[in-house]
Amino acid sequence: MSAPGRTLAAKPTRLRLRVRGAVQGVGFRPYVHGLATRHQLGGFVANDADGVLIEVEGDEVAAFVAALPQQTPPLARIDDIAVEPIAADAGTGFRIAESVSGRVTTRIVPDAATCAACLAELFDPNSRFHLYPFVNCTHCGPRFTIAERLPYDRACTSMKRFPMCEACRSDYEDPAGRRFHAEAISCPRCGPRLSHGLDDIAAALADGRIVAIKGLGGYQLLCDARDERAVQRLRARKQRDGKPFAVMLATADAAIEMAEIDTAERALLEQVARPIVLLRSRQRVAPSIAPGLAKIGVMLPAAPLHHLIFHALEARRAAADPAWALVCTSANPSGEPLLTDNAEALADLADIADLIVTHDRDIVIRADDSVLAVVAGVPRFIRRARGYVPEPIRLTCAMPPILAVGAQLKATVTVTRGDEAFVSQHLGDLDTAAAIRFFEETIAHLTSILDVEPVAIAHDLHPDMASTRFAQAYGLPTLPVQHHHAHAASVMAEHGVTSPALALVLDGHGYGSDAGAWGGELLSCDGAVFQRLGHLAPLKMPGGDRAAREPWRMAASVLHDFGRGDEIGRRFAAQPQSRNILMLLDRADAPVTTSAGRLFDAVAGLLGVTTMQSYEGEAAMKLEALVREPATLERGWTIVDGVLSLRPLLAHLIARNLDAVQAAGLFHGTLSAACVDWIAAASRATGIGTVVLSGGCFLNAHLAEQIMRGCRSAGLDPLLPRRLPPNDGGLSLGQAWVAGLQLNEEHMVSGGTV
Amino acid sequence: LSHGAGGRAMAQLIAGLFHEAFGNEWLARGNDQSAFDVAAGRMVMTTDGYVVSPLFFPGGNIGSLAVHGTVNDIAMAGARPLYLSASFIIEEGFPFSDLKRIADAMGEAAREAGIAIITGDTKVVERGKADGVFISTAGVGVLPEGLDLSADKAKPGDRVLLSGSLGDHGVAIMSRRQNLTFDTEIISDSASLHGLVADMVAAGGDGIRLMRDPTRGGLAATMNEIAQQSNLGFRLQEDAIRVKPAVAAACELLGLDPLHVANEGKLIAVVASEAAAAVLAAMKAHPLGRDAADIGTAVSDDHRFVQMVTSFGGGRIVDWLSGEQLPRIC
Ligand SMILES: [Fe+3]
Ligand SMILES: [Mg+2]
Ligand SMILES: [Zn+2]
Ligand SMILES: [Zn+2]
């Protein structure tokens, strides 16, 4: 933010202020109006192509400028205020002027949970919004999910088909009110309608039935989270094996009954984004909500409809009963994107939900619920979507507009505009036609709401990913970026690291620059280039992706490595292929991987924690859930020529036959200590002290916390991602960053002009 | 076999071997070319190269494969194959006995198919310049009157028929290459399909839009190729696609998707829905089409996606691959 400067101290004239950031559609102009009026200033405020334009004149302009960033409306984010003195105009009175149209470069803000004022109206019998499921104002409500394009006004949202009634019109036009230019304003007289009454919904839920509702970013499935039979029914109908469900509770106080919550976690739960927060479960919900896991995903109501459902349920609760807890999971046919369309929902959810609650406000772009956890004291993303998209990430330099398309699983795309990077919402796995269409729609929507045309497209080095295929067919110059380089670059981009950095990427699998299967990599990164300093000791990976789904295979690989191949058949007798796998492992040319994820799988398999995964990451999550106290095995690893081997630890785990809890603690502690040792050696060799930590394994809180702590004790500066997930959800930002630096460098070398 | 000096004697030896194995009137004349009568109507011609490793595999060898592959390339046009040529690049030191096995298998495959290998050539190259034996072939055949199969004729609603189980050839080759042994030996499906094709054409005529043999890249690559050329999408039914239990088990062990594994004795036909039942019946009546099935349908789709529909819905994309099956799970 630029300081007002000395000119203010001189004879006050008229000031022109340009405010950039998320300042449109969030009640900023009424805020400015109020502030200017309090300071008895003349002038005006208007929206324009850069954000908000203000002119003020009067004795207290300096006080106005100082106060402006102090008490902005809840959804406003100021990036920059530029102040310039101009000729006085001698006008009195302050007005809100018509928007100045022009090229749109401002932004749409994320969806926000119902604000306290709207919530009060929702339950106020005298309010015209009493029990109205679509109440909102400039401080809350849907934004990103209803916006078709810029500028953000009603005609460009899915509210365009609801003409305002007189009362709403008058609120909309009242500069003093919370609903001045609240583009999504509506009331029971003029707005969208719910297909079912709240009593019906509450009755169905209380009866143990499954209810689909149309949420902010897509359809959600609800059922009583305390009712094991209801949860099992939901699992069966959704064809979902063991993947955990999130739970919604009416208030943070109710959530405390279900999970241990510290101050940081409570603040996160109550953020306007209303994410799902992973918390240590008190195991008071139905057992099949998160089988075998220590943590539970908890969220608070995000939309008026959620509040109304809890309100209606409350009437059906006996005083002695525990607080209502609802399973709240995205409604989608197995593996496909979240449903948003009414007709599709009615058709596709008919076999899953007993009651399907729709309404007639369209969801323009789907957004899943975001998932976060507090790790090492800071909120960290597991999945970034509703409530956070499309907030940009500020880059350290401007770059040409780039589209980056991520990888294959947990895909996101990134579009850059100047020095901002816009990372899309979580798009899911690009292996269904519906997901690929969503991926394409998102690219179209994002470039449209940002009003940019990319000049290059960055993609993963893997030749056979849907995103790679898309990039190659797109018709723009392509810039392939190695998977783990992109993981590292993602963290460098969001933290603004411009000097060389070491990167520890502990990941599942990525296509290596040498065509190998990488995934436990120590890199040094400088600008657009990286060097592979080292990697985990390669392990044979029998059966490609099968080995990722079946941890017993990686366990077999370790046993074979220790000359204990004869134990495989006995240890994994339930696996029909365990009799044959030696044929693959005995081959000298069997494919190998340096993946850290597969190492977790191997240990989970050896300990019998998980031999077959029913969802991605299950083995590692269950192993993590067993950890009580991470412990370090002395001399549990070796580092030779940059290659980190945990063979001594694995030998110990196999020979000692420890119980799973002890073994899980020893594995986490030793792996973390080994990684710190590895990084410290690389730091001594290179003189680099900044260490970025990335890759899907850093979702593991023990690993992340231990390595952070270890690096700090070693005098290093470790950085974990804060604004994006460490897994493939953050990849597109890293790709865009590397591609942008490449283009900037080329531009500097060639000396041309953009 | 030796290379260079003494080449003349060697050449005669080899020529003799092939003459004996292929045994036909054209070769017997000993010319550098062969003359044959041309049928009325349209002819088809194809050429192909064979570089398989290992050269010998359960269910055949490179020789029989060369005949089957060339015959099938002709047959996929709906044509009746007539004559083949074969040219051999042989690595110095290659055992004469192995060459004889290959030649005999070729001759037998040609006789079974009712065609003749009427001209050929051999070259022996230095050690290391070839991997045992390479065979390159050409073939000609004749089309039934009025038949013109082509991908651009396919329409939404057309059915996709598959002549049998998937993956046998590719898994047989891979098992041999990687020294894998299973309880049930997996045998290549390598076979000439023109007889089956003739029966299908007789039953379906114009209703058959196009046929393809899903060789390299398997069903996945071939269906994607058809989708591109026909400008259509395809929805395949997972439970209709047969994979023999032994092949499925081997694929599971190796982590391979049988949809991407090569076949040498299977065909895919896209058939107008009204002709599909008759064509399918004709396929099932033929020994090489006993396990034929209707596996899906063509749909209009601007993305030309090939999708696999499973028993509980879902539209998993069946993609083509640029090379071997690489891991994709991060
Ligand atoms: Fe990754
Ligand atoms: Mg061919
Ligand atoms: Zn509000
Ligand atoms: Zn109204």
CA of B14 to the centre of ligand 2 (A): 26
Q: Tell whether B168 and B309 lie within a shared domain.
A: yes
Question: Is residue B47 classed as helix, strand or coil in its secondary structure?
Answer: strand
Q: Tell whether B33 and B110 lie within a shared domain.
A: yes
Query: According to the model, what pLDDT value does residue A7 have?
Result: 46
Q: Tell whether A300 and A427 lie within a shared domain.
A: no
- When divided into structural domains, chain A yields a total of 4
State how far residue A135 is from chain B, nearest Cα, in angstroms: 36
In a domain? residue A443: yes
Query: According to the model, what pLDDT value does residue A132 have?
Result: 98
A1: pLDDT strictly greater than 80: no
Q: What residue in B sits closest to A595 (Cα-Cα)?
A: B330
Q: Tell whether A543 and A671 lie within a shared domain.
A: yes
> For A284-312, what is each residue's pLDDT tens digit?
999 999 999 999 999 999 999 999 999 99
Task: Output the domain CATH number for residue A453.
Answer: 3.30.420.360
Predicted-complex ipTM score: 0.92
Query: According to the model, what pLDDT value does residue A320 have?
Result: 84
> For A211-270, what is each residue's pLDDT tens digit?
999 999 999 999 999 999 999 999 999 888 889 999 999 999 999 999 999 999 999 999
Looking at all shown ligands, the one closest to residue A141's CA atom is: 3
Distance linking the first and last C-alpha atoms of chain B: 50
Q: Tell whether B197 and B252 lie within a shared domain.
A: yes
Q: Which of A347-356, A559-568, B25-34 has the lowest mean pLDDT?
A: B25-34
Q: Tell whether B238 and B190 lie within a shared domain.
A: yes
Query: According to the model, what pLDDT value does residue A6 have?
Result: 45
Burial of B26 (0-12, 13-18, 19+ CB in 10 A): middle
Q: Tell whether B161 and B307 lie within a shared domain.
A: yes
- What mean pLDDT, rounded, does chain B reach? 93
In a domain? residue A682: yes
Taking CB atoms and an 8 Å cut-off, how many pairs form between chains A and B? 112
- When divided into structural domains, chain B yields a total of 2
Domain containing residue B166: 151-317
> For A620-646, what is each residue's pLDDT tens digit?
999 999 999 999 999 999 999 999 999
Tell me which of B99, B122, B142 is where a domain ends: B142
Q: B189-217 in b/e burial notation, b at 16+ Cβ within 10 A?
A: bbbbbbbbbbbbbebbbebbbbbbbbbeb
d(CA A105, CA A97): 19
Domain containing residue A269: 200-373
Average pLDDT for B122-126: 91
State how far residue B54 is from chain A, nearest Cα, in angstroms: 17
> For A444-480, what is each residue's pLDDT tens digit?
999 988 889 999 999 999 999 999 999 999 999 999 9
Q: Tell whether A507 and A539 lie within a shared domain.
A: no
Among candidate residues B136, B160, B95, B130, the one with its CA nearest the CA of residue B297: B160
Tell me which of B112, B142, B172 is where a domain ends: B142
Looking at all shown ligands, the one closest to residue A407's CA atom is: 1
A593 contacts in chain B (CB < 8 Å): 327
Q: Tell whether B58 and B178 lie within a shared domain.
A: no
Q: A702-725 in b/e burial notation, b at 16+ Cβ within 10 A?
A: bbbbbbbebbeebebbbbbbebbb
Tell me which of A373, A396, A416 is where a domain ends: A373
Task: Output the domain CATH number for residue A663.
Answer: 3.30.420.40
Instruction: For residue A747, name the pLDDT band (cuts at 50, 70, 90).
Output: confident
Among candidate residues B200, B89, B104, B98, the one with its CA nearest the CA of residue B137: B89
> For A699-720, what is each residue's pLDDT tens digit?
999 999 999 999 999 999 999 9
Average pLDDT for A316-339: 90
Between the ranges A16-25, A85-94, B313-322, where is the mean pLDDT highest?
A16-25
Q: Tell whether A366 and A227 lie within a shared domain.
A: yes
Instruction: For residue B117, name the pLDDT band (cuts at 50, 70, 90).
Output: very high
Q: B244-279 in b/e burial notation, b at 16+ Cβ within 10 A?
A: bebbbbbbbbbbbbbbbbbbbbbbbbbbbeebbebb
Which tokens in the block code for residue A105?
A: 């470069």
Q: Which of A2-16, A73-87, A172-186, B224-238 has the lowest mean pLDDT?
A: A2-16
Question: Which residues of A are known to be catalytic?
Answer: 29, 47
Q: C-alpha angle with apex A79: A74 to A80, nearest 5 degrees?
A: 120
Instruction: For residue A3, name the pLDDT band (cuts at 50, 70, 90).
Output: very low
Query: According to the model, what pLDDT value does residue A175 have?
Result: 84
The residues pairing with B87 across neighbouring beta strands, listed in sequence order, are B121, B136
Instruction: For residue A102, name the pLDDT band (cuts at 50, 70, 90).
Output: low
Q: Tell whether A506 and A567 lie within a shared domain.
A: no
A700 contacts A596 by C-beta, under 8 angstroms = no
In a domain? residue B329: no
Query: According to the model, what pLDDT value does residue A621 have?
Result: 96
A594 contacts in chain B (CB < 8 Å): none
Q: Tell whether A396 and A494 lie within a shared domain.
A: yes
A581 contacts in chain B (CB < 8 Å): 253
- What mean pLDDT, rounded, does chain A reach? 94
> For A46-56, what is each residue's pLDDT tens digit?
988 788 999 99
A4: pLDDT strictly greater than 60: no
In a domain? residue B178: yes
> For B150-201, what is each residue's pLDDT tens digit?
999 999 999 999 999 999 999 999 999 988 998 899 999 999 999 999 999 9
d(CA A157, CA A23): 18
Q: Tell whether B190 and B313 lie within a shared domain.
A: yes
**A585 near B CB under 8 A:** no
In a domain? residue B2: no
Nearest CB neighbour to B327, from listed A333, A463, A517:
A517
- B223 φ, ψ to 5°? -65, -35
Nearest CB neighbour to B252, from listed A462, A577, A727:
A577
Cis peptide before A151 (omega within 30 of 0): yes
